[in-house]
């Protein structure tokens, strides 16, 4: 069975494949492997949300986006640049919606916004949202390390709670304004730009939240190496997916697995076997990827890894 058989990504368009796990376990490597396999059955985008730009290096990508071997379209998101862009967009939006606030120095407020908690996650979420509208059959996402990835996935639901409250407040303001104007015998514009913007955001994040918690639209792949910390993060990630998004992972991957003799010599056989047993216990499809014996450094190394992947369905 191949990696893609384990995902069974029938529903499109596109089908998202989120590759998650601790830094260094092989998310980027696995993302490339998955994109290579998927690209033989549909238009594939490989979206890197990982600030470590290894993807571009492996694939010899010049710049931030482009087509690479096998017809895969690769896009590397530069978080710092995007943060600049969205904070100034927010300042423009406030200027447009609330001209009376222009007495404040919005540019310096936008500058401060760059350092707000959650801005990075918002950037990643927007890029995901754009990728969903890009016309690809498959979008493979090389995610940032676990903490940021989980906060990003939690964001749509959190936004919906805020937006519902904000909409309620704004609707009250608009209806009061209307009642006052009528009492004074004045004509009043019923369309409220701020309220329309809030409705638009609620639709957008609602739809994105649905895609992310639908196992037919999104496949979660969680990668670990046979070591305690990566396995701990895998467990945390699976728990988060189940409790917060209501989805099961489609595929769990144990990467950099050593031949048993070598693992025994290094005193790692016990932890390697326990990791594999734990992987099986989740009841999802799982894969074992052997250690290549040297770091994978080029696309040809990654191709070589393809023959060292074994996949099982529970």
Residues making contact with ligand ADP (CB under 6 A) = 21, 23-29, 54, 255-256, 289, 291-292, 295-296, 305
CB distance 49 to 141 below 8 Å:
yes
- How many other β-carbons are positioned within 10 Å of the β-carbon of residue 310? 12
- Which of 25-33, 149-157, 229-237, 279-287 is the region at the interface with Mg ion (rule: CB under 5 A)? 25-33
Tokens of 282: 């989740």
Q: 209, 210, 216, 207: which is closest to 15 by C-alpha?
A: 216
Nearer to ligand ADP, 60 or 283 (CB): 60
- Which of 23-31, 114-122, 219-227, 301-309 is the region at the interface with Mg ion (rule: CB under 5 A)? 23-31
CB of 202 to Mg ion, least distance (A): 33
CB of 49 to ligand ADP, least distance (A): 11
By the rule CB under 5 A, 28 interacts with Mg ion: yes
CB of 152 to ligand ADP, least distance (A): 16
| Sequence-distant (≥ 6) Cβ neighbours of residue 43 within 8 angstroms | 71, 73, 135, 136, 137, 138
CB of 20 to ligand ADP, least distance (A): 9
Distance (Å, whole) CA 235 – CA 27: 16
Tokens of 174: 């608009």
Nearer to Mg ion, 31 or 219 (CB): 31
Distance (Å, whole) CA 127 – CA 154: 15
CB of 243 to ligand ADP, least distance (A): 24
- 209 to 248, contacts with Mg ion by CB under 5 A? none
Tell me the chain's radius of gyration from C-alpha atoms: 23
By the rule CB under 5 A, 143 interacts with Mg ion: no
For Mg ion, which residue has the nearest CB? 28
Nearer to ligand ADP, 53 or 204 (CB): 53
Q: 34, 56, 55: which is closest to 219 by C-alpha?
A: 34
By the rule CB under 5 A, 50 interacts with Mg ion: yes
Q: 92, 55, 110: which is closest to 77 by C-alpha?
A: 55
Nearer to ligand ADP, 6 or 110 (CB): 6
- Cα 102 from chain centroid? 35
CB distance 22 to 224 below 8 Å:
yes
The single residue listed with the structure tokens 């704004």 is 170
Q: How far apart are the first and last CA of the chain?
A: 12
Nearer to ligand ADP, 209 or 249 (CB): 249
CB of 24 to Mg ion, least distance (A): 8
256 binds, among ligand ADP, Mg ion, none (CB under 5 to 8 A by kind): ligand ADP
Nearer to ligand ADP, 14 or 144 (CB): 144
Nearer to ligand ADP, 22 or 43 (CB): 22
Mark residue 271 as left, alpha or beta (left: phi above 0; alpha: psi -120 to 50; beta: remaining). Answer: alpha
CB of 144 to Mg ion, least distance (A): 8
Q: What is the DSSP letter of 258?
A: P
Query: What number of chain residues touch Mg ion (CB under 5 A)?
Result: 4
Residues that bind Mg ion (CB under 5 A): 27-28, 50, 54
């Amino acid at each position: 069975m191949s990696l893609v058989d384990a995902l069974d990504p029938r529903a499109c368009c596109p089908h998202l494949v989120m590759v998650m796990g601790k830094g260094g376990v092989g998310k980027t490597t696995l993302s490339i492997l998955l994109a290579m396999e998927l690209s033989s059955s549909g238009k594939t985008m490989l979206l890197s949300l990982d600030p470590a730009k290894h993807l571009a290096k492996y694939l010899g990508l010049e710049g931030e986006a482009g087509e690479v071997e096998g017809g895969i379209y690769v896009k590397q998101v530069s978080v710092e640049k995007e943060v600049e862009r969205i904070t100034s967009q927010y300042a423009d939006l406030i200027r447009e919606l609330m001209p009376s606030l222009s007495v404040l120095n919005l540019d310096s407020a936008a500058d401060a916004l760059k350092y707000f908690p959650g801005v990075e996650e918002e950037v990643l979420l927007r890029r995901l949202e754009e990728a969903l509208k890009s016309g690809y059959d498959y979008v493979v996402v090389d995610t940032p390390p676990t903490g940021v990835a989980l906060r990003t996935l939690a964001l749509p639901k959190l936004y919906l709670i805020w937006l519902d409250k904000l909409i309620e407040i704004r609707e009250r303001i608009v209806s009061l304004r209307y009642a006052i104007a009528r009492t004074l015998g004045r004509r009043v514009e019923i369309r409220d730009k701020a309220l329309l913007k809030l409705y638009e955001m609620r639709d957008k994040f609602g739809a994105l939240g649905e895609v992310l918690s639908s196992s037919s639209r999104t496949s979660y792949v969680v990668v670990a190496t046979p070591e305690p910390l990566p396995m701990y993060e895998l467990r945390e990630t699976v728990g988060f997916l189940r409790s917060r998004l209501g989805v099961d992972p489609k595929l769990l991957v144990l990467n950099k697995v050593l031949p048993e003799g070598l693992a025994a010599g290094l005193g790692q056989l016990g932890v390697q076997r326990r990791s594999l047993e734990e992987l099986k216990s989740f009841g999802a499809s799982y894969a074992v990827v052997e250690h290549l014996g040297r770091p994978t450094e080029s696309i040809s190394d990654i191709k070589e890894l393809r023959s060292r992947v074994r996949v099982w369905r529970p």
